[in-house]
Amino acid sequence: MVNKVTALLTILSTAMTIYITLVSSRIDAKVKLSDARLREFQASLDARFKEADLDLRQTIENRTSRQADASFNLQIYEKVYIALQTNDERKHMVAYALVQSLDDDKAVKRYFLGLFQTDIVPPETRKAAAFSIFQIDQQSVGQPGTSKIQGGGEAKRVSYDVFWCEGHKDWEHLAGAAAEQIRAQDGVGRVRTRMLPEEVNREPRFRVSGRIIRIDPGEEALGRQLKTWIDPVIAPDAFKLDGNGQKTPNYLSAFVCGT
């Protein structure tokens, strides 16, 4: 009887040992898995914090840069504005040279160049500034406006420039009225009014006189549509369609350079 009890206790002890070993093994495996997951989570969290820190640093740097640019541009504006309050041609030329050195921000440069379009500025400097403005604007010719469409993507729109020839305020007013009429239409892209400097108009690609609409081959329908928009604000049958020697898809130009 004693031997049987001893054998039973031995079996129970062995079973308990095996059970405890198995449970311990499972617990150890779970602990190791939890540790691995914890390290993975910590690594992911560290990466996110690092990315957020980099984004924050970049945001601060960008803001500091913008503030520095704004401060610099304000200083340029003050110098140009002060120079243009005098009749000193030398100061005008220095101010113009200062503006011409601004190549990073075309929009700011264009605005400053526009300040020279006043009668107090000598004609030579005024014409040079007008030519620079034309060159800046010309860089975006042929870049169609776009609009978002349902389902994603973008739809191209036709952009328009309405020119007036340099030296004629009444033509400038007519060009502005024509541009406003175009903007009132549905589905148009960018619409601008631009002065056509005399120096540019002497080039073979322009040589514009009268009131014309320049179109590429195949754009006759667009040209006629534009004509129906802007004729009424100028005069009946005011604009004539003319072929464009330089292909500019999704872009039309109208010129007010005479009667």
- Local confidence band at 142 (pLDDT 50, 70, 90 cut-offs): low
Residues 220 and 214: their CA atoms lie apart, in Å, by 10
Choosing from 139, 166, 192, the residue where a domain stops is 139
Phi, then psi, of 122 in degrees rounded to 5: -55, 145
Counting the structural domains of the chain, the total is 2
Q: What is the pLDDT of residues 247-256, one digit of tens each?
A: 888 899 999 9
Q: What is the pLDDT of residues 54-88, one digit of tens each?
A: 777 777 776 766 777 777 778 888 888 898 898 88
- Are 168 and 246 contained in the same domain? yes
- Are 45 and 87 contained in the same domain? yes
Structure tokens at 78: 């003050």
pLDDT of residue 215: 92
Rounded to the nearest integer, the mean pLDDT of the chain is 82
- Are 181 and 243 contained in the same domain? yes
CATH number at residue 205: 3.30.70.2390
Chain-centre distance for alpha carbon 253 = 22
- Are 185 and 118 contained in the same domain? no
- Are 5 and 123 contained in the same domain? yes
- Are 68 and 170 contained in the same domain? no
> Across residues 14-29, what is the average pLDDT?
69
> Across residues 156-165, what is the average pLDDT?
92
pLDDT of residue 57: 77
pLDDT of residue 195: 93
> Across residues 110-125, what is the average pLDDT?
90
- Are 127 and 57 contained in the same domain? yes
Residues 213 and 239: their CA atoms lie apart, in Å, by 6
pLDDT of residue 60: 72
Residue-range definition of the domain harbouring residue 216: 144-257
| Percentage of the chain modeled with pLDDT above 70 | 79
Beta carbons within 8 Å of 58's beta carbon, 6+ residues apart: none
What is the chain's percent helix, strand, coil content, to nearest 5?
60, 15, 25
Residue 240, pLDDT above cutoff 90: yes
Residues 63 and 105: their CA atoms lie apart, in Å, by 16
- Are 16 and 72 contained in the same domain? yes
pLDDT of residue 149: 44
Residue 145, pLDDT above cutoff 60: no
pLDDT of residue 244: 80
Between these two residues, 146 and 93, which has the higher pLDDT value? Answer: 93
Q: What is the pLDDT of residues 215-238, one digit of tens each?
A: 999 899 999 999 999 999 998 899
Choosing from 94, 123, 139, the residue where a domain stops is 139
- Are 8 and 134 contained in the same domain? yes
Do the strands 191-196 and 210-215 form a parallel or antiparallel pair, or are they unpaired?
unpaired
